[in-house]
Chain A
Amino acid sequence: MLRLLLHRALWALPVALGVVTITFFTARLFGGDPTELYAPPEATDELRAQIREKLGLGDPLLVQYLRYLGEIARFDFGISFTTNQPVGQDLTERLPATLELGLIGLGLGILIGVPLGVIAAVSRERVPDFLVRGITLAGMALPQFWIGLVLIWVFFVILGWLPGPVGRLPIGVPLPEPITGFLLVDLALLRDWEKWRLALLQLVLPAGTLAFAMLAPIARVTRSSMVEALQSDYIRTAVAMGFGRRAIWFRYALRNALLPVVTLVGVLAGYVFGGAVLLESIFGWPGLGQYALQAIESSDFAALQGFVIYAALLYVGTFLLVDMLYILIDPRMRT
C-alpha cells in the first residue's frame, strides 16, 4: 500500500510541470508583448528596448521558459503591476478570506447535503425524494452569481435583515491586523465581539450561496450511491437478520455509500479553495477569486499566471489527497 501511495504522489509531479508549461505558453502566445504592460504609452523605442532587456525578453523562448521554471520552483511569481507587490505575497494575503468563506460554505454543504441525500434515498420515489431532487436540480442548474444576487435582493434590499455585499466587514469598519487571517478567529482572539458579530453577518449571504451550490451535487451523489448500497446483498442480509432500520441505513449503507462522496468533496474543495471567482465578485469578497478577476480585467499577466498555477497546483494536490484517502479507506484498493 505504501508503494501505491508513493507511486500516486510521484505522478503529481509531471502533471504539475505540464500545468506550468501550458500556462507559460498560453500567456506568451495570447498575451501579446509583455513590454506593453510595463512601458508607458509615450515610451521611446530605447526605453522599450531597455525594458525588454530587463525582462529578458530578448532571449530565446526556451531560455525564458527554463528561467520561468526556476522562478516558480523558488515560489517567485513575479511582480503584479496593479498592486506593485510580488504576486506570491498578494496570493498569500488573499488566501485566508477565500479559505474562510470556502470552509464554511463547503462545511455547511456537507452537513446539509449528506442528510438530504440519505432522506431522498430511503424514501425513493416518494414526496421527500422529489423535494430533494427538485432542490438539487435547482442548485445545480442556477448560476451561483444569480443565486447570490437574488439573496441580496431579498435579504438586504427588501427585508433589510442582512448587510449589503461590501466584503468582510461593513464600510468604515477597519479590518484588524491579521493574526491567522481568518477574520472570525482573529476577532475572537481579540475578544472584539461586536466586530465579530458584524463579520459573521457579512458572511451569512456569501456562505449561504456557496453552501446551496455545494449541497446540490453532494446530496445528489449521496442519494444515488445510497440507493445502490441499499439494493446490495449485504443490506438484504442485514434486513433478513432483523437489524433495525436506522442501524442499516447509517451503520451499513451510508458508510459504504460515502466513498464517492469523499471524491466529490475533494473536487469541490479544489474548486472553492481556488476562489469562487463570480461569488467573490458579487459579494465584494477580497479573496483569490476577486484577485484573479481584477488580473483578468487589467491584463495583469504576472498575477494571472501566478493565480492559475496556484489554483491548478491546488487542484492537483487535492486530487492527490483524495486518491490517497481513498486508498486508505477503501479496503479493495489494498491489493
Chain B
Amino acid sequence: MKRAPFSWSMRIGLGILAVYAAVALLALVWTPHDPLSPGVGDSYLAPSAEFPLGTDRLGSDVLSRLMAGTQYNLGIALVAVSIALAVGSLLGVIAGYYGGPLDIAISRGVEVFQAFPGVLFAMLVAKAVGPGVINIILVLSFVGIPDYVRLARAEVQSRRNWPYAEAARMVGNRSWQVAFRHLLPNSTGPLLAFTSINAAFVSLVTASLGFLGLGLSPNTPEWGNMIARGQDGVMTGEWWVSFFPGLAILGMTGAFYLLGDALSDLTDPRRRR
C-alpha cells in the first residue's frame, strides 16, 4: 500500500508552521501593544479583553511579547538547522565518499563532540561567548553538526559503489560531482527528516538557554525568557505569564516533530505502510 505524500501529520505540521511564520511576519508590523515597553498596563493583570493573555510583572502585554517572540524562536531554529545541515552534510559526504585518513579524522572528531551532552555543551559555550542572536545560532548549529555528519556519511558510504555511482564515474564525472550531485541528492529525504527533528530539539534548547538567562538579553521577548520572567508569578497564582509561552513552544516543537515523522515515513521504505 503506497502512502499519499501528504499524510495528515505532514499537513498539520506544515499548517502550524505556516501559522507561526505568518505571526512572525505580522509581529514585524503590528502587535496589539508595544512588546518591549514595560507598563502598557498594570503589573500582573489577569487575561481580559484589553490584554487577552494578561500582563507580566513589568506590565508588558504577554500576547504582544508572544507574537514578537515568534521571530526569535522560529528564526533561530530555522537558521541554526540550515547551517548545521549544510556544514554537517558537507563533512559527512567527504568522509563517506573519500574514506581513508580524512574519514577517520572526521569520524573520530564527531565521536568526541558527541560525548558532550548537547544541552550542557550549548550552555557552556553560550556562557563563554555571551548572549546574542548570532552567538546562539552558532552555538546551536555547532551542537547539531555531528549528527548530520554521521547521517550523511552513512548514507553516502552505503551507496558509494552502487551501479548508478559507478555509471556516473564511468561517463567522466569528477569525484566531487559524483559525491555531491549524484549521491547527496539521493540522501535528501533522510537528511531533511532529521533536520525537522533537529529543529524541534533546537527550539527546546533555545528556550532552555533563554530560561537560564544565557540566551538573549533579558528584555528580549524570547519564549524561554518569558517563562523565566513569570516563574515567580506562578508561585503566587499569576500563572499566565509562564503558561502561554510554554504552549507556543509546544505548538512549534510539536509541528517540527510531526513534520519530521511524516518525512521519515515518506523516505524510509520500511516505515511505509
Asked if residues A312 and B234 are in contact (CB atoms below 8 Å), the reply is no
A-side binding surface: helix, strand, loop or mixed?
helix
Q: B116 to chain A: which residues have CB within 8 Å?
A: 19, 22, 308, 311-312, 315
Contacts of A204 in B (CB 8 A): none
Interface string of A202-242 (1 = CB under 8 A from B): 00000000000000000000001000100000000000000
Chain B, interface size category, equals 35 or more
Other than the known A30-B125, A140-B200, A145-B208, what 12 A-B pairs have Cβ atoms closer than 8 Å?
A15-B112, A19-B115, A22-B112, A26-B128, A30-B128, A141-B253, A146-B245, A146-B246, A146-B249, A149-B234, A152-B234, A296-B124
Residues of A within 8 A of B224 (CB): 143
In the bound complex, residues from chain A placing their C-beta under 8 Å from that of B250 are 138, 141-142
Assess the B227–A141 pair: CB atoms within 8 A: no
B-chain residues with CB within 8 Å of residue A296 when the two chains form the complex? 123-124, 127, 212, 214
Contacts of B72 in A (CB 8 A): none
A138 surroundings in chain B (CB, below 8 A): 250, 254
The total of Cβ contacts below 8 Å across the A-B interface reads: 118
CB distance from B240 to the nearest CB of A (A): 10
Q: Which residue of chain B is the closest to A164 with respect to CB atoms?
A: B235
B211 / chain A contacts, CB cutoff of 8 Å: 143, 145, 278
**Interface class of chain B by DSSP:** helix
A26–B125 CB distance below 8 A: yes
B112, B117, B200: the one within 8 Å of A270 (CB)? B117
Residue A75 is within 8 A (CB to CB) of chain B in the complex: no
| A140 and B253 contact, Cβ closer than 8 Å, known pairs A145-B227, A150-B246 | yes
B58 interfacial contact with A, CB 8 Å: no
Given A278-B212, A296-B123, A304-B124, A315 and B117 contact (CB-CB distance below 8 Å)? yes
Q: Is A4 an interface residue (CB 8 A)?
A: no
Which B residues have a C-beta under 8 Å from some C-beta of A? 108-109, 111-113, 115-117, 119-121, 123-125, 127-129, 200, 204, 207-208, 211-212, 214, 224, 227, 231, 234-237, 239, 242-243, 245-246, 249-250, 253-254, 257-258, 270-271
Do residues B120 and A143 form an inter-chain contact, with CB atoms below 8 A?
Answer: no
Q: With A and B bound together, what is the CA distance between A18 and B116 in angstroms?
A: 10
Most buried by B among A14, A15, A138, A158: A15
A157, B246: Cα distance in complex, Å: 18
Q: A149-B242, A311-B120, A315-B117 are in contact. Are A141 and B112 (CB under 8 A)?
A: no
Is A277 on the interface with B (CB-CB < 8 A)? yes
- Contacting residues, chain A, for B119 (C-beta < 8 A): 277
Q: Does A293 contact B (CB under 8 A)?
A: yes
Give Cα A137 to B257, complex, Å.
8
Task: Verify A150–B111 contact, CB threshold 8 A.
Answer: no
Mask of A232-269 contacts with B, CB within 8 angstroms, 1/0:
00000000000000000000000000000000000000
B129 and A18 within 8 A (CB): no
Near B by CB (< 8 A), chain A positions 14-43 give 14-16, 18-19, 22, 26-27, 29-31
Which residue of chain B lies nearest to A16 when distances are taken between CB atoms in the complex? Answer: B115
Which residues 279-306 of A have a CB within 8 angstroms of B? 281, 292-293, 296, 299, 304
CB-CB < 8 A to A146: which residues of B? 227, 242, 245-246, 249
